[in-house]
């Protein structure tokens, strides 16, 4: 990656509160060659050190599932923004919130001629992201997450367009069949499509999705699992609702569960050794906008492993600090946005502050009860 060659001279950070795996400790860091070279005493970083003035130093945040890029691509209904400009704006926002590693979630599987937001776009956007990444134009370290939509017409063909060299890190199996999972309550889907579809169009859309799930769903599941294995990607489930859903996910080889909708599903995930990821907006709002299980409920039951910003990048840092307040354990809360997602994505070189790991860091000060980003480094290079 372009960031790996950053900062030929050691960079020194002093007088910080280091958020380590099991404690918060006063100290400083020496960064060299894009890595953490040493953890030192608060005032021992040496001449020319940046004084962090007692701010927290966290491992850079790791985001596994964000739809934020789509918001930049379509800032208003019917408005399509240029891809490169959208990617750069998304990247700047991500880095500015302390996220140093991001898996951009791209939907694969489209509905031909639909007004419901199911147009094909993933292959072209992935190519654009790869081009900017290769040119060293991006601040954060970007990876790709393919969201394979079961209720679609083009999934198998779209998956075939991706190759191992595209660096796909995650493939999630998305099933938005009306009456199931996220949209068990079809009125939630109706509200989601409000402004795009009138009632007659909505009813036709529901009928179309049900027919596609019935005729193509099983083939699409097989194709998505096979593609994940071909691409060397982590397999994630999405919106598991009950133990039967989790059993199917486990049989597919899923190791990550995105946003299980019930406590039953989360408990089944824990029993199956599948990491549970919930949305930070859910935690901060006190509940799911879709009426599903609250992230705080799962956290209280010890069933929350990973937080995702989902659709609000700034929610990731805020969610970690809110979770720390709830549990009284800031290091464990920070791990849900650093070490745990890095581990789930098989990225062993980041997510913790330890010698030899990537120097991906966020400097944070709590002001008025809110964590405020004061500096961000990716592989030792200052990006925000």
Least confident range of 80-94, 169-183, 264-278, 318-332: 169-183
- Domain definitions of the chain by residue range: 1-60+350-384, 61-348
Question: Is pLDDT of 248 > 70?
Answer: yes
Q: What share of the chain is helix, strand, coil (3-state, %, to 5)?
A: 40, 25, 35
Alpha helices in 153-198 (DSSP H): 155-160, 186-192
DSSP 130-158: HHHHHTT--SSEEEEEEEEESS-SSHHHH
How far are the Cα atoms of 69, 107, 192, 360 from residue 89, in angstroms, in the given order? 8, 20, 25, 20
Paired residues of 234 in beta bridges: 170
Least confident range of 118-122, 130-134, 198-202: 198-202
Please give the share of the chain, as a percent, with pLDDT higher than 70.
Answer: 90
At 293 the pLDDT is 94
Confidence category of residue 190, pLDDT binned at 50, 70, 90 = low
Locate tokens 């799911």: which residue? Answer: 288
Q: How far apart are CA 257 and CA 313, in angstroms?
A: 20
CATH topology identical between 1-60+350-384 and 61-348: no
Q: How far apart are CA 358 and CA 379, in angstroms?
A: 5
Confidence category of residue 7, pLDDT binned at 50, 70, 90 = very low
Q: Which CATH number fits domain 61-348: 2.130.10.10, 3.60.20.30, 2.30.42.10, 3.20.20.140?
A: 3.20.20.140
Considering the domain 1-60+350-384 in this protein, what is its CATH number? Answer: 2.30.40.10
């Amino acid at each position: 990656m372009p960031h790996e060659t950053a900062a030929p001279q050691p960079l020194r950070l002093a007088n910080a509160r280091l958020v380590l795996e099991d404690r918060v400790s006063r100290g400083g860091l020496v960064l060299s060659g894009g890595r953490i070279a040493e953890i030192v005493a608060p005032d021992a970083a040496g001449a020319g050190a940046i004084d962090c003035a007692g701010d927290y130093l966290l491992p850079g945040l790791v985001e596994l599932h964000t739809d934020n890029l789509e918001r930049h691509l379509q800032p208003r209904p019917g408005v399509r923004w240029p891809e490169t400009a959208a990617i750069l704006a998304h990247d700047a926002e991500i880095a500015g919130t302390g996220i140093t590693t991001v898996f951009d979630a791209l939907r694969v599987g489209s509905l031909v001629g639909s007004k419901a937001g199911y147009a094909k776009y993933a292959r072209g956007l992935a190519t654009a992201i790869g081009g900017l990444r290769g040119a060293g134009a991006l601040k954060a370290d970007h990876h790709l997450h393919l969201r394979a939509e079961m209720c679609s017409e083009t999934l198998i063909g779209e998956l075939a367009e991706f190759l191992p060299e595209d660096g796909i890190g995650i493939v999630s199996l998305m099933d938005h069949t009306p009456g199931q999972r996220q949209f068990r309550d079809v009125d939630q889907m109706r509200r989601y499509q409000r402004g795009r579809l009138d009632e007659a169009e909505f009813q036709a859309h529901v009928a179309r999705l049900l027919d596609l799930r019935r005729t193509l769903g099983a083939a699409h599941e097989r194709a998505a699992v096979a593609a994940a294995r071909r691409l060397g990607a982590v397999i994630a489930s999405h919106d598991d609702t009950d133990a039967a859903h989790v059993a199917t996910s486990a049989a597919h080889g899923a190791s990550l569960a995105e946003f299980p909708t019930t406590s039953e599903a989360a408990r089944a995930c824990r029993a199956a050794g599948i990491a549970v990821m919930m949305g930070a907006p859910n935690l901060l709002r006190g509940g799911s906008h879709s009426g599903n299980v609250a992230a705080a409920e799962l956290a209280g039951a010890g069933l929350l492993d990973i937080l995702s910003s989902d659709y609000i990048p700034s929610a990731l840092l805020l969610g970690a600090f809110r979770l720390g307040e709830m549990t009284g354990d800031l290091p464990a809360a920070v791990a849900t946005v650093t070490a745990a997602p890095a581990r789930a994505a098989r990225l062993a070189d980041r997510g913790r502050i330890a010698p030899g790991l990537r120097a991906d860091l966020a400097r944070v000060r709590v002001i008025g009860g809110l964590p405020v980003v004061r500096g961000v480094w990716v592989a030792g290079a200052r990006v925000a």
